Structure 1
Amino acid sequence: MTRSISKLTSLNIAGLWLVLLMSFATLLTPAWAEVGIEAPALVLKDTPFSVTVSRDDPAGSEPLWLQLDEQRYPLAFENGEARLDELTSQADTLSLTLVNEAGDTLAEAGSVAIAGWLSVVPALTAIVLALVFRQVILALFIAICAGGWLSYGLSGGKLLQSVLDSVNVHILKAASDSEHMSIVLFCLLIGGMVGIISRNGGTVGIANHITRFVRGRRSAQTTTGLLGTAIFFDDYANALIVGNTMRNITDKLRISREKLAYIVDSTAAPVSAILLVTTWIGFQVGLIDEAIGQIEGFDGSAYAVFLDAISYSFYPILALLFVFMVSLSGRDFGPMLKAEVKAVQRRHDAPDELTDMEAIAEEANIDAKPGIPHRALNAIIPMTVLVLTTLGGIWYTGMEELGHPAEYSLRDVFGNGDSFTAMMWGSLLSTLVALVMTQAQRLLSMDETAHYWFEGVKSMLLPITILMMAWALSSVNEALHTSDYLVSVLSDSLAPQLIPVSVFLLSAFTAFATGSSWGVMGIMMPLVVPLAWAVLQHHGLAGDPEAMHLFYASVAAVLAGAVWGDHCSPLAETTLLAAMASGCGLVEHVRTQLPYALFVGVITTLFGILPVAYGVPWWLGIAVSALVMATGLRLLGKRAEDYQQPASEPSGRPAIGGEAGIKQIS
Structure 2
Amino acid sequence: MVSIKGKFADPAIRKKIIQGAILTFIISVIAIYFSDGFVQENGHFGFWSITPPLLAIFLAFYTGEVASSLFMGICLGAVISNKINVVQEFLIPSIGTESFALILLVYLWALGGLIGIWTRTGGAEKFARWASEKMVKGPVSAKLFTWFMGIVFHQGGTISTILTGATVRPIADKHKVSHEELSYVVDSTASPIATLIPFNVWPIYVAGLVIGTNALFETTQDGINFFLTALPFNFYAIFSIILTFHFAWEKLPWIPGKQMRKAIRRSREEG
TM-score range, shorter chain: 0.5 to 0.7
CA–CA distance in structure 1, aligned partners of residues 66 and 132 of structure 2: 35
CA–CA distance in structure 2, aligned partners of residues 316 and 136 of structure 1: 21
- Please state how far the C-alpha of 1:265 moved relative to its aligned partner: 3.1
Candidates 217, 242, 256, aligned match of 1:335: 256
- Please state how far the C-alpha of 1:284 moved relative to its aligned partner: 4.8
Higher relative contact order (CA 8 A, sep 6+): 1
User: Is 1:346 the counterpart of 2:250 in the alignment?
Assistant: no
Specify the alignment match of 1:205 in structure 2.
126
Classify 1:176/1:268 alpha carbon distance in 2 versus 1 (closer, same or farther; 3 Å): same
Counterparts of 1:285-364 in structure 2 under 5 Å? Answer: 294=216, 310=231, 316-329=237-250, 331=252, 333-336=254-257, 338-346=258-266
| 8 A Cα contact 1:203 1:245, kept in partner | yes
CA–CA distance in structure 2, aligned partners of residues 184 and 284 of structure 1: 21
CA–CA distance in structure 1, aligned partners of residues 214 and 46 of structure 2: 29
How many positions carry a matched residue from both structures? 230
CA–CA distance in structure 2, aligned partners of residues 314 and 150 of structure 1: 28
| 8 A Cα contact 1:267 1:320, kept in partner | yes
User: Is 1:176 the counterpart of 2:96 in the alignment?
Assistant: yes
| 8 A Cα contact 2:164 2:190, kept in partner | no
| 8 A Cα contact 2:196 2:231, kept in partner | yes
CA–CA distance in structure 2, aligned partners of residues 148 and 315 of structure 1: 26
Classify 1:152/1:277 alpha carbon distance in 2 versus 1 (closer, same or farther; 3 Å): closer
Q: What one-letter code is carried by the residue in structure 2 that aligns with 1:211?
A: S
Q: What one-letter code is carried by the residue in structure 2 that aligns with 1:234?
A: G
- Please state how far the C-alpha of 1:231 moved relative to its aligned partner: 1.8
CA–CA distance in structure 2, aligned partners of residues 151 and 312 of structure 1: 28
- Please state how far the C-alpha of 1:333 moved relative to its aligned partner: 1.7
Specify the alignment match of 1:436 in structure 2.
none
Deviation string, structure 1 residues 163-203 (Cα, Å, up to 9, x no partner):
xx454554333431544763465346534654565456444
CA–CA distance in structure 2, aligned partners of residues 187 and 202 of structure 1: 20
Specify the alignment match of 1:65 in structure 2.
none
| 8 A Cα contact 1:141 1:166, kept in partner | no
Counterparts of 1:531-546 in structure 2 under 5 Å? Answer: none
CA–CA distance in structure 2, aligned partners of residues 327 and 268 of structure 1: 14
Counterparts of 1:263-302 in structure 2 under 5 Å? Answer: 263-284=185-206, 294=216
- Please state how far the C-alpha of 1:224 moved relative to its aligned partner: 1.2
Deviation string, structure 1 residues 549-606 (Cα, Å, up to 9, x no partner):
xxxxxxxxxxxxxxxxxxxxxxxxxxxxxxxxxxxxxxxxxxxxxxxxxxxxxxxxxx
| 8 A Cα contact 1:266 1:323, kept in partner | yes
Classify 1:341/1:322 alpha carbon distance in 2 versus 1 (closer, same or farther; 3 Å): closer
User: Is 1:238 the counterpart of 2:133 in the alignment?
Assistant: no
Specify the alignment match of 1:190 in structure 2.
111
Q: What one-letter code is carried by the residue in structure 1 that aligns with 2:156?
A: D
- Please state how far the C-alpha of 1:242 moved relative to its aligned partner: 1.0
- Please state how far the C-alpha of 1:280 moved relative to its aligned partner: 1.9
User: Is 1:221 the counterpart of 2:143 in the alignment?
Assistant: yes
| 8 A Cα contact 1:122 1:146, kept in partner | yes
Q: Which has the higher helix share?
A: 2
Deviation string, structure 1 residues 102-142 (Cα, Å, up to 9, x no partner):
xxxxxxxxxxxxx8655545444444444444444444444
Classify 1:304/1:200 alpha carbon distance in 2 versus 1 (closer, same or farther; 3 Å): closer
Q: What one-letter code is carried by the residue in structure 2 that aligns with 1:326?
A: F
| 8 A Cα contact 2:38 2:81, kept in partner | no
CA–CA distance in structure 2, aligned partners of residues 218 and 282 of structure 1: 36
TM-score by length of 1: 0.29
| 8 A Cα contact 2:161 2:187, kept in partner | yes
SS across alignment from 1:233: coil
Deviation string, structure 1 residues 602-635 (Cα, Å, up to 9, x no partner):
xxxxxxxxxxxxxxxxxxxxxxxxxxxxxxxxxx
Structure number with bigger Rg:
1
Specify the alignment match of 2:180 in structure 1.
258
RMSD: 4.4
Deviation string, structure 1 residues 412-436 (Cα, Å, up to 9, x no partner):
xxxxxxxxxxxxxxxxxxxxxxxxx
| 8 A Cα contact 2:204 2:224, kept in partner | no
